[in-house]
C-alpha cells in the first residue's frame, strides 16, 4: 500500500477525542486515508459507512436518534464501549452533523469523516461541532509522492541539493516530471498504464466533480456553463481575473461568474490568490489570480 505524507499526521489524531475530518477534491485519496485509519484503529468496536450508498444515507434520515442508534447497533457497533465510526462522503447525508454531535456528546464516539466540500464542512459543521472537530485538507500527490507511487527510489536524494539547480537530477527525473506536469497527481491517474486511460480518468474526475459536488452545493442551472467556465479559467491560470469579460463570453453576469468561481474554490478545484502588494489596501483591491489544484485538469 502506498503511503501519503499526511498519514502520520492523521494517525496521530486518531487517539484524540475530536472528530477527524478529511476534506479535499474528489478522488485525491480521502477514502483510502479513511480506510487506512480504520485499519490502524486498535479496537474491534468500529464500523465504516460509505454515504454515497442509499441504504447508508437512509440510516441518517430516520426521525429519531434512537432509531439511528439501533441501526448502527445492527451493523455491529456497541455504544457501551469506546469505538470508532468512519463515514465516507459526509455531505451526502443531510442530518449527519447533528447525529455526530449527539453520539459524540452522549457516548464519546470517535468519528473519522471525509467530505469533498470545504463550505459544507467548515460552515455547516461549525454550527454543531464547534470545538469538537479538526479539519485536515488533502490534495493530489506532490512530486515526491508521485515518484514513490511510480516506485522510483528517492531515499538517496539529498533534498538540500535541490536548493540549487543540478543538471544531474534534472536529467534523472525529466521524463517523470513532464508526466507529472501533464497528467497531475490524482493517485489513480498516476497509476494508470497509458495516456488514454489517464485522460479518461481526468475527464471522469472533472465530470464527477461538477455533477456530484458543485451542483450539490450550489444553485447551478447549467452544467454546460460550468464546463465552459472551467475551460476559460484553465486558459487564464496565473492571470488576473476579469469577471465582466468572462461573463460576457459565457452570457451570464459578473456576479454569477463570481458565484461559480466561489463554488469551484469551495470544492477545491481552484484557488484564488490575491496578488502581492506592499500595502493591504492595494492587495485587497487588486484582481485575484486563479490556479488549479492539479495540473492534469488544465
Last residue of a domain, one of 91, 107, 138: 138
Mean pLDDT of 66-79: 96
Classify residue 1: in a domain, yes or no. Answer: no
Residue-level pLDDT at 235: 93
Place of cell 444553485: 219
Same domain, 24 and 95: yes
Same domain, 172 and 43: no
Provide the residue range defining the domain that includes 133: 7-138
**pLDDT band (50, 70, 90) for residue 118:** low
**pLDDT band (50, 70, 90) for residue 149:** very high
Same domain, 117 and 150: no
Residue burial 135-168, b: 16+ Cβ < 10 Å; e: rest: bbebbbbeeebbbbeeeeeeeeeeeeeeeeeeee
User: Given a cut of 80, is residue 98 above it in pLDDT?
Assistant: yes
Asked if 141 contacts 185 with a C-beta cutoff of 8 angstroms, the reply is yes
Residue-level pLDDT at 111: 97
- Window from 20-24, 117-121, 257-261 with minimum mean pLDDT: 117-121
Residue-level pLDDT at 22: 94
Q: pLDDT tens digits for 161-179?
A: 555 656 777 777 889 999 9
**In the chain, how many domains are there?**
2
Same domain, 17 and 121: yes
Residue-level pLDDT at 124: 62
Distances (CA, A) of 149 to 23, 44, 69, 84: 21, 31, 40, 29
Last residue of a domain, one of 98, 119, 138: 138
Q: What is the pTM of this model?
A: 0.87
Asked if 45 contacts 84 with a C-beta cutoff of 8 angstroms, the reply is yes
Can you give the CATH number for the domain in which 120 is found?
A: 3.40.50.300
Residue-level pLDDT at 254: 92
Residue-level pLDDT at 167: 73
Same domain, 193 and 288: yes
Last residue of a domain, one of 113, 138, 163: 138
User: Given a cut of 60, is residue 266 above it in pLDDT?
Assistant: yes
Residue-level pLDDT at 250: 94
Of 125 and 209, the one with more pLDDT: 209
Residue-level pLDDT at 121: 63
Residue-level pLDDT at 35: 96
Average pLDDT, the chain: 88
Classify residue 172: in a domain, yes or no. Answer: yes
Mean pLDDT of 174-197: 95
Same domain, 134 and 153: no
Residue-level pLDDT at 15: 93
Mean pLDDT of 55-78: 95
Q: Residue 93: which residues within 8 A CB-CB, separation 6 or more?
A: 51, 56, 57, 59, 60, 61, 87, 99
Selection from 4, 25, 1, 6 nearest residue 214 by Cα: 25
User: Given a cut of 60, is residue 100 above it in pLDDT?
Assistant: yes
Same domain, 274 and 161: yes
Classify residue 188: in a domain, yes or no. Answer: yes
Of 118 and 33, the one with more pLDDT: 33
Classify residue 212: in a domain, yes or no. Answer: yes
Amino acid at each position: 500500500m502506498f503511503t501519503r505524507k499526511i498519514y502520520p499526521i492523521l494517525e496521530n489524531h486518531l487517539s484524540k477525542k475530536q472528530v477527524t475530518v478529511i476534506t479535499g477534491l474528489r478522488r485525491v485519496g480521502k477514502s483510502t486515508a479513511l480506510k487506512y485509519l480504520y485499519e490502524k484503529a486498535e479496537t474491534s468496536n468500529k464500523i465504516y459507512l460509505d454515504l454515497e450508498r442509499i441504504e447508508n444515507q437512509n440510516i441518517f434520515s430516520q426521525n429519531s436518534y434512537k432509531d439511528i442508534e439501533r441501526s448502527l447497533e445492527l451493523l455491529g457497533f456497541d455504544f457501551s464501549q469506546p469505538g470508532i465510526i468512519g463515514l465516507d462522503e459526509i455531505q451526502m447525508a443531510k442530518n449527519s452533523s447533528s447525529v455526530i454531535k449527539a453520539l459524540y456528546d452522549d457516548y464519546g464516539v470517535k468519528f473519522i469523516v471525509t467530505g469533498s466540500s470545504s463550505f459544507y464542512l467548515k460552515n455547516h459543521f461549525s454550527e454543531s461541532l464547534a470545538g469538537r472537530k479538526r479539519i485536515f485538507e488533502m490534495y493530489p500527490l506532490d512530486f515526491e509522492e508521485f515518484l514513490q507511487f511510480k516506485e522510483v527510489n528517492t531515499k538517496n536524494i539529498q533534498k538540500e541539493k535541490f536548493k540549487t539547480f543540478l543538471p544531474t537530477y534534472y536529467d534523472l527525473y525529466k521524463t517523470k516530471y513532464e508526466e507529472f506536469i501533464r497528467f497531475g497527481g490524482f493517485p489513480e491517474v498516476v497509476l494508470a498504464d497509458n495516456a488514454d486511460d489517464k485522460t479518461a480518468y481526468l475527464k471522469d474526475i472533472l465530470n464527477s466533480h461538477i455533477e456530484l459536488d458543485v451542483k450539490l452545493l450550489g444553485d447551478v442551472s447549467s452544467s454546460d456553463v460550468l464546463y465552459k467556465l472551467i475551460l476559460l479559467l484553465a486558459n487564464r491560470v496565473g492571470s488576473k481575473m476579469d469577471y465582466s469579460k468572462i461573463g460576457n463570453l459565457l452570457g451570464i453576469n459578473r456576479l454569477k461568474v463570481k458565484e461559480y468561481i466561489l463554488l469551484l474554490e469551495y470544492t477545491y478545484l481552484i484557488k484564488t490568490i490575491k496578488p502581492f502588494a506592499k500595502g493591504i489596501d492595494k492587495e485587497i483591491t487588486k484582481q485575484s489570480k486563479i490556479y488549479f489544484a492539479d495540473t492534469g485538469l488544465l
